Amino acid sequence: EGTKSLLDQEESIAGLRWLYDLQHTNEVDPCQCGDQINENFVAGTVGIHNTTTGLIGSYANMAKSGELGFEWDAIVGPVGPTGLRGSQVSAGAFCITGNSKHPNEAFQVLDFYSTKEDGIEHVFFGAGSPGGRNDVWESDELNSIHSIFRMHQETYPEGPRKWHRPANARTSEFVDTLNNNLQAIWTDSVGFEEGVELTHQLVQEVLDKDPLA
């Protein structure tokens, strides 16, 4: 319902512990605190990473041009210990503001962005994920780049699982508080148990604040 932090739950702590151990116990993740994940993969300093389909077009183009010095592939994430498979809701919204000097022309541009043609073509040019059209994700033309798009449709026939936003609409504040405090855990600036408890308390404080609207 977006009013209670679940970071104190056993499953949440186990997930965070798994991420922590990747770096500090098993030493297979060089750093979870940076923002250079894509660059590290392209440079060959990490062998695998978790991301959206938004990078598939870029990787395919780089491989075709010889910029990638290795063979690469993409797969759908594995099923977790509870039998569930993780998913992520992503969106890129374009709006026409009330003070637009050319609202009709702007609408025509946005209308084109919603077409099947653009949904396919902008992936070919490395501009991100295909958008929300099923006929794009299922198209042979798109899947000629990589079969991951059709894999997603088959794995998630009903789409991604629900994303629980803060009920008080303080999403940005919640995410910033969460990420900043998780970073302290990943960098060992604070002990794991202490850091998780502190993060839980601080994000709950955000959820307890008055609604923005």
What is the Cα–Cα distance from 157 to 117, expressed in whole angstroms? Answer: 22
**pLDDT tens digits, one per residue of 167-177:** 999 999 999 99
Average pLDDT over residues 185-190: 93
Average pLDDT over residues 55-75: 94
**pLDDT class of 81 with cuts at 50, 70, 90:** confident
What is the Cα–Cα distance from 31 to 72, expressed in whole angstroms? Answer: 21
* DSSP letter assigned to residue 15: H
Average pLDDT over residues 95-109: 94
> Taking 70 as the threshold, does the pLDDT of residue 33 lie above it?
no
Cα dihedral across residues 71, 61, 118, 141: positive or negative: negative
What is the Cα–Cα distance from 1 to 129, expressed in whole angstroms? Answer: 29
pTM of the predicted protein model: 0.81
Choice among 15-24, 51-60, 78-87, 146-155 with the minimum mean pLDDT: 78-87
Residue of 192 and 94 predicted with greater confidence: 192
Report how far Cα 137 is from the mean position of its chain's Cα atoms.
Answer: 18
Average pLDDT over residues 77-97: 84
Average pLDDT over residues 155-184: 92
> Taking 80 as the threshold, does the pLDDT of residue 26 lie above it?
yes
Taking all residues of the chain, what is their mean pLDDT, rounded to a whole number?
Answer: 91
Q: What angle do CA 92, 204, 17 make, to 5 degrees?
A: 80
pLDDT for 46 = 84
pLDDT for 61 = 95
**pLDDT tens digits, one per residue of 110-126:** 999 999 999 999 999 98
Count of CB atoms situated within 10 Å of the CB of 138: 14
Most confident range, picked from 17-31, 42-56, 78-92, 133-147:
133-147
DSSP secondary structure string, 61-104? HHHHHT--SS-----PPPB-TTS-B------------TT-S-HH
Reduced to 3 states, what is the DSSP secondary structure of residue 1?
coil
Count of CB atoms situated within 10 Å of the CB of 193: 11
pLDDT for 29 = 77
